[in-house]
Amino acid sequence: MSIKTININSFDLSSIFWKKILDNSFLKIKPYQAEFFKKIDSLDKLRLQSSYNTGSISSTTAWLLFSIVLFFKPKIIVEIGSFIGKSTFSMALAADFYLTENSCDIFCCDYSNEIKFPNIAKTKIKQFHKTSSTEMFRELDVNLNIDLIHVDGRLEVEDCILLKEKINDNTFFIMDDFEGNEKGVANLFHLLNNNVISRAKYCVIYPIDNLVGKTYGLIEKSTTAVLLPIKFLKITSQ
């Protein structure tokens, strides 16, 4: 994964981040958006296969995941909590746009279900059915170097121990349910307390403000946050 920096010339880091990410996707891929949502919405029928039918991501979150992957072009993505695949394919469909430049592999697990995903993306997806995040991390190649981790589940202490061996200084995290006392916030403190990441090297990009989202036609609420390596940021003067 090549490092792409974001110029910062305002205190409102989170808003600047989301605007930069969305400007990129809307300028490059806006005509594709209708097809994208058609594919993502088609996954709802997979609920019929579920052993545990739970919630899924909003349309805003789906486009944010797409936009993040399109911008940073990660080669190795790991996801905890895939369910019917809306978040998985939001990232996979973005990776499809740069497969000619770099290959991308996605590894995802779901503890409660064994839903077989349809073939709607070119990007390679390896599913771990009815598998915990800890079990998935154990099974992954010991030399696997993760660029992006999407966490839509609860991290355990052993997850953190195993993660340390598979991340690098460029690895960034996308955290679902990042509000109040929800699991996304708990996972952040879990990563910090178990020394997977440090405050000195990472900054928190908070969920997109509704007003910012609406300027890009994103109406539904998103609780997605990003833990971004500070080295990805570039300070510039006005």
* H-only helix segments in the chain: 13-29, 33-41, 59-72, 86-95, 133-139, 157-163, 183-193, 210-215
Average pLDDT of the chain is: 92
- 10 confidence band (pLDDT: 50, 70, 90): very low
pLDDT in tens, 161-182: 999 999 999 999 999 999 998 9
Q: Which CATH superfamily is domain 6-235 in?
A: Vaccinia Virus protein VP39 (3.40.50.150)
pLDDT in tens, 200-233: 999 999 999 999 999 999 999 999 999 999 999 8
How far, in Å, CA of 191 to CA of 156, rounded? 10
Q: How far is CA 221 from CA 66, 138, 178, 211, in A?
A: 16, 34, 12, 10
3-class secondary structure, 216: coil
**pLDDT (average), residues 153-164:** 94
